Amino acid sequence: MDYRKKFLVEPGAKLRLDKIDPSYAGKTHVKKDAKDETAKLVERIDRLQFLLYADAGKSLLIVLQGLDAAGKDGVIRHLFGSMNPQGTLVHAFKQPSKEELAHDFLWRAHQGAPGRGQVAIFNRSHYEDVLVVRVHKLVEKAVWSARYGLINDFEMMLSQNGTRILKFYLHISPQEQLERFKQRLDDPARHWKISESDYTEREFWPDYSKAYEEALQKTSTATAPWFVIPSNHKWFRNLAISSIVAETLEEMGLGLPPTQVDIGEIRRKYHAAEREAPGKKKKD
């Protein structure tokens, strides 16, 4: 299946999240087979990330958005946890700090953007400034509505600087969210992940859906596309995202950088020397 084509939000197209089945898992997928395929894709991603880091000429930004318990942490842990940490950044967008509030809304996003050779993963992102602020009326409509264009300009700038951008909306149902909240309540190891606000925010589900629909419609571009990933089934979510990331990295034309030294000369000078016993001086 071409997951990029299947789940792409076409630039300028109308989007209705209630018309997309969050439990979709394809017609032929079996959970075990999907997990096996995902494991192979993760290995492929790791190899490609090594080339990206070695080449140090391009970068990749992965944006993960979704309502509470949609699976952002799970995607990071299962799909990107084995990447070389020297070339991987994870930036969580929590409530803005005083320093962040003292700057423009994109300042903190730019701080977390990947440098050449890096993969940056945003757990939530600069899109919070057209989502939460809209739903909770933290700024006027004239302010948040003007931000779509600023976001597109920002992402275009990153693209022109060699950064590929992939943006994933993890689409779950209200029923699945409630079940995941219950799992957190039942598991002492996950109590730290639950709060009363998780439940009170559910009252705003329709408002968040509308905000997401408009944000995705207005900011899905050729250089920074959005994908709506059905995420009720974690195994299918992981399969779809890993497939899209792997194919995108393949398209980036990554390769090892040219050798900067004379390999033959180094081998002649040092490999031959290794044949001598450690500490033993060469004979005149």
Would residue 210 count as lying in a domain? yes
Q: Could you report the per-residue pLDDT of 244-282, keeping only the tens digit for each?
A: 999 999 999 999 998 888 888 888 888 875 666 555 555
CATH number for the domain harbouring residue 263: 3.40.50.300
Q: What's the domain range around 38?
A: 3-275
Our count of domains for the chain comes to 1
Q: Could you report the per-residue pLDDT of 121-156, keeping only the tens digit for each?
A: 999 999 999 999 999 999 999 999 999 999 999 999
Cα–Cα distance, 242 to 187 (Å, whole number): 28
For residue 177, the Cα-to-chain-centroid distance in whole angstroms is: 20
81, two tokens: 């946890």
Determine the 3-state secondary structure of 214 from DSSP. helix
Strands of 74-222, DSSP E: 88-92, 119-123, 163-171
Mean pLDDT of the chain: 94
Would residue 58 count as lying in a domain? yes
